[in-house]
Amino acid sequence: MVGSTRPDLRLQERLALMAAHLVVALVALVVIGGATRVMEAGLACPDWPLCYGRFLPGQQMNLQVFLEWFHRLDAFVVGVALLVLTGVSAFWRQSLPRWLPWVAAGSLLLVAVQGALGALTVSQLLAAPLVTAHLATALLLVALVSGLYQRLALAGAETESNSGPAPRWWQALAFGSLLLVVGQCVLGGSMASQWAAQQCLSSGDGCRWLLAHRQGAAPAAAAVATLALSSLLLPAHQSQGRGLALGALALVVAQVALGVAVLRHQLMLPGITIAHQLVAALLVALLASALARSYGRPQANLEWAHG
């Protein structure tokens, strides 16, 4: 389109790269937080935001302290990176997609909420509702930043591949699958924050939480399987969305296997439990990416490409 302003594709590529690193950092944040809980290290640092009154508690450092300290460090790095992303997207908003400053600011706000919940979690001695809310906020961040990265990558693409949207029924299915999986993850986090699985296996108490988590897995898995199988009907330009959906199905299979292994070993192997949480975070990231991809390339950039 003659007379339209072409965006700074190099800037968009750099911001997309930053967003990609943020997704990795956020997935790591969820996993390290899960490892902190599994290793009973949630109160290894008795104060907040410092640890034993220091940025680096060298004298008190052990595995538990390291997990809690590194979890906070990762969250700090994520917060700084999102602050930079928000500032850059606001300053150069005329050369970037209009939605970017708002989504970046929303992500930054979620990080602030996450930090506040982290502080309350420590001060309230790991109260279960706060721990669950802390996890839910982290998963929302994973989904939001994953979608942000995909939209930035599409907006900065110079070719017209993958330009068209997926059918609306598939978009709705992707959104529903994401909601079910996030809900299932939050339910699992609520169960874990109350140590319900351990109580159920040891004394038979709290088994309703474990049963609810197992029952909730069925509709979430069915939704992802339906999404993946129906992706075979998508047009050729949605090949990347199809790949993401099929990857999500592979993660569901791995997640079910890990869940069975966790119960078979009666939660005695922390590595399996942490892997279970890693796959859950990756699954949220892939489904959010598939949903973002399903809307196709932003129309404005198609006009710039033709300009």
pTM score, whole prediction: 0.90
Mean pLDDT within 84-92: 95
Q: How confident is the model at residue 158 (pLDDT cuts 50, 70, 90)?
A: low
Question: Can you read off the two tokens belonging to residue 305?
Answer: 């490409």
Tens digit of each residue's pLDDT (9 = 90 or more) over 46-59: 998 889 999 999 88
CA atoms within 13 A on the CB side of 291: 21
C-alpha 260 chain-centroid distance: 23
With 0-12 / 13-18 / 19 or more C-beta atoms within 10 angstroms meaning exposed / middle / buried, residue 67 is buried
pLDDT tens by residue, 190-210: 888 888 777 787 777 778 888
The model's pLDDT over 226-251, given as tens digits with 9 standing for 90+, comes to 999 999 999 888 889 999 999 999 99
Closest by CA to 263, choosing from 193, 183, 207, is 207
Which of these, 253, 250, 269, lies nearest to 261 by C-alpha position?
269
Would you call 146 exposed, middle or buried from its count of C-beta atoms within 10 A (0-12, 13-18, 19+)? buried
Q: What is the pLDDT confidence band of residue 160, given thresholds at 50, 70 and 90?
A: very low
